[in-house]
């Protein structure tokens, strides 16, 4: 499915100056929007759109819509706000928070950013480079009433409020979440080359294991445990102090840099502000019932041989990143051993779902019984950007073609490692 230049339909919507409408004055201390307009949607009637360049002052409304919207960890206030201050600032991605209200009640929040890519001004989701699942926060009762015409009108109005912008590029979007269709799937879109992967924890740990060859996993875990007896076994560690957060993060970043260098992969963790973002999030989460970032480690013979980090929201654990040592214990598969222990811990915490994010890997298909369809939205907001969106869509098609052919995908990874890898 391709891009489209969204045109206004004067009969479907309107936007005028605020002076022409009865707008409720902002309360003292309320955040001041960069821009405002009114918009007619079939699903809601007239709503007010506001765009903010700062999340400060939006916390209460944000937490409220999260409780009413299909959402993941990556849309939580703590995740988006911290990422924007650290990694977003480092990447020169300016926040643009679009809020839709009707009579003062928030109907949706879109955590967006504006930045430059070459000659184009882009609008994308905030934190999309480190979020496995990107989506807007729409009230669950509103979503079934939205039409494709509503979503086209919303995008066109946002383009005016965010102007000047050339391209809307939304990546990593689940087609549905919490059994609810993503409203942006009502627009033209392309299937992503990646799927999302999740495991149901309903019924307990044994039931979760049995969903994907539990007997083999138990046997392998026993074998790993026996092989490690001579060095005192493998021990699950959870970072529970600021010093331990720093230890776990330092280890994870060192292991990740070595692995990415060897494979010739761009290391997004080296971008300005990324590591401070994760450190802050993990430290601020200490002691919380649903931490935004929880860092696990597998300690073998006095050192962390594997690190796995993720956060919890609404009873679901979201895996964010993993790092595994390449050393004498690699053959024991410390990464898989750690995942086994993390899933067991998630069950003890009473969680209902464990996900490993997006992107096909053998360990994900081995553990997860659920596949989440993903899509990308690329829309030229100006005719001058049509060439760029056509290129992006062709590139995505090529990736999808390669991903669907295991031999071709493996050959591509080997070629990348040969060209760009550093041992």
* Angstrom distances, CA of residue 21 to CA of 156, 161, 409: 20, 17, 56
For residues 144-169, average pLDDT: 97
> Does the domain formed by 18-192+372-420 have CATH 3.40.630.30?
yes
pLDDT reported for residue 24: 42
Is residue 174 scored above 90 in pLDDT?
Answer: yes
Structure tokens at 320: 């964010």
pLDDT reported for residue 13: 37
Alpha-carbon gap, residue 50 to 97, rounded angstroms: 8
pLDDT reported for residue 295: 98
Is residue 135 scored above 50 in pLDDT?
Answer: yes
Q: Do domains 18-192+372-420 and 202-351 have the same CATH topology?
A: yes
pLDDT digits (tens, 9 = 90+) for 279-304: 999 999 999 999 999 999 999 999 99
pLDDT reported for residue 11: 33
Percent of the chain with pLDDT over 90: 81
Judge contact between 306 and 325, C-beta under 8 A.
Answer: yes
Q: Positive or negative, the Cα torsion across 73, 75, 81, 84?
A: positive
Is residue 10 scored above 80 in pLDDT?
Answer: no
* Angstrom distances, CA of residue 283 to CA of 55, 128, 153, 241, 394: 21, 22, 41, 7, 41
The alpha carbon torsion through 226, 227, 228, 230 (nearest 10 deg) reads 90
For residues 192-218, average pLDDT: 96
Q: Positive or negative, the Cα torsion across 345, 349, 354, 357?
A: negative
pLDDT reported for residue 12: 37
Return all residues near 392 (Cβ < 8 A) that are at least 6 apart.
169, 378
Is residue 18 scored above 80 in pLDDT?
Answer: no
pLDDT reported for residue 198: 98
Least confident of 22-26, 72-76, 85-89, 171-175: 22-26
Is residue 265 scored above 90 in pLDDT?
Answer: no
Judge contact between 301 and 232, C-beta under 8 A.
Answer: yes
**Annotated domain spans of the chain:** 18-192+372-420, 202-351
Architecture of the domain defined by 202-351 = 3-Layer(aba) Sandwich (3.40)
* Angstrom distances, CA of residue 44 to CA of 4, 137, 146, 380: 24, 16, 8, 26
Count of beta carbons in the 10 Å neighbourhood of residue 131: 24
Return all residues near 379 (Cβ < 8 A) that are at least 6 apart.
3, 4, 5, 6, 155, 167, 168, 169, 187, 188, 389
Alpha-carbon gap, residue 277 to 7, rounded angstroms: 39
Judge contact between 79 and 130, C-beta under 8 A.
Answer: no
Count of beta carbons in the 10 Å neighbourhood of residue 416: 13
Is residue 273 scored above 90 in pLDDT?
Answer: yes
For residues 247-273, average pLDDT: 92
Count of beta carbons in the 10 Å neighbourhood of residue 344: 15
Structure tokens at 197: 């992967």
Confidence category of residue 420, pLDDT binned at 50, 70, 90 = low
For residues 194-199, average pLDDT: 96
Nearest CA to 378 out of 363, 362, 397 is that of 397
Judge contact between 286 and 226, C-beta under 8 A.
Answer: no
Confidence category of residue 8, pLDDT binned at 50, 70, 90 = very low
Nearest CA to 86 out of 252, 282, 228, 221 is that of 282
Judge contact between 393 and 3, C-beta under 8 A.
Answer: yes
Angle at 274 between CA 371 and CA 298, to 5 degrees: 65
For residues 9-16, average pLDDT: 36
Is residue 417 scored above 70 in pLDDT?
Answer: no
For residues 222-242, average pLDDT: 97
């Amino acid at each position: 499915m391709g891009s489209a230049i969204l045109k206004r339909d004067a009969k479907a919507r309107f936007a005028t100056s605020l002076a022409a409408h009865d707008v409720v004055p902002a309360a003292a201390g309320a955040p001041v929007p960069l821009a405002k307009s009114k918009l007619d949607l079939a699903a809601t009637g007239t709503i007010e759109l506001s765009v903010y360049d700062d999340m400060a002052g939006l916390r209460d409304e944000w937490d409220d819509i999260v409780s009413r919207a299909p959402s993941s960890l990556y849309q939580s206030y703590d995740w988006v706000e911290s990422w924007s201050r650290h990694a977003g600032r480092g990447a020169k991605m300016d926040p643009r928070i679009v809020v839709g209200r009707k009579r003062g009640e928030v109907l949706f929040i879109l955590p967006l950013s504006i930045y430059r890519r070459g000659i184009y001004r882009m609008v994308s989701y905030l934190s999309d480079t480190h979020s496995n699942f990107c989506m807007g926060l729409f009230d669950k009762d509103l979503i079934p009433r939205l039409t494709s015409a509503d979503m086209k009108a919303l995008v066109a109005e946002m383009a005016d409020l965010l102007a000047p912008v050339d391209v809307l590029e939304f990546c990593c979007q689940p087609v549905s979440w919490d059994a609810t269709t993503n409203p942006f799937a009502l627009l033209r879109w392309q299937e992503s080359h990646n799927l999302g992967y999740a495991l149901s924890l309903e019924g307990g740990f044994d039931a979760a294991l049995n969903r994907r060859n539990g007997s083999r996993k138990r046997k392998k875990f026993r074998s790993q445990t026996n092989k490690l007896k001579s060095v005192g076994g493998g021990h699950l560690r959870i970072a529970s102090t600021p010093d331990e957060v720093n230890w776990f993060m330092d280890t994870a970043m060192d292991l990740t840099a070595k692995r990415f260098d060897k494979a010739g992969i761009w290391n997004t963790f080296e971008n300005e502000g990324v590591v401070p973002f994760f450190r802050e999030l993990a430290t601020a989460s200490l002691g919380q019932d649903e931490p935004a970032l929880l860092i696990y480690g597998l300690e073998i013979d006095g050192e962390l041989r594997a690190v796995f980090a993720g956060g919890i929201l609404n009873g679901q654990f979201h895996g964010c990143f993993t790092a595994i040592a390449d050393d004498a214990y690699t053959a024991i598969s410390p990464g898989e051993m750690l995942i086994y222990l993390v899933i067991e811990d998630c069950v003890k915490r009473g969680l209902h779902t464990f996900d490993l994010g997006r992107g096909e890997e053998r360990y994900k298909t081995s553990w997860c019984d659920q596949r989440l369809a993903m899509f990308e939205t690329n829309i030229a907001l100006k005719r001058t950007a049509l060439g760029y969106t056509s290129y992006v869509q062709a590139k995505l098609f090529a990736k999808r073609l390669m991903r669907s052919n295991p031999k071709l995908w493996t050959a591509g990874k080997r070629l990348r490692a040969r060209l760009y890898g550093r041992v």
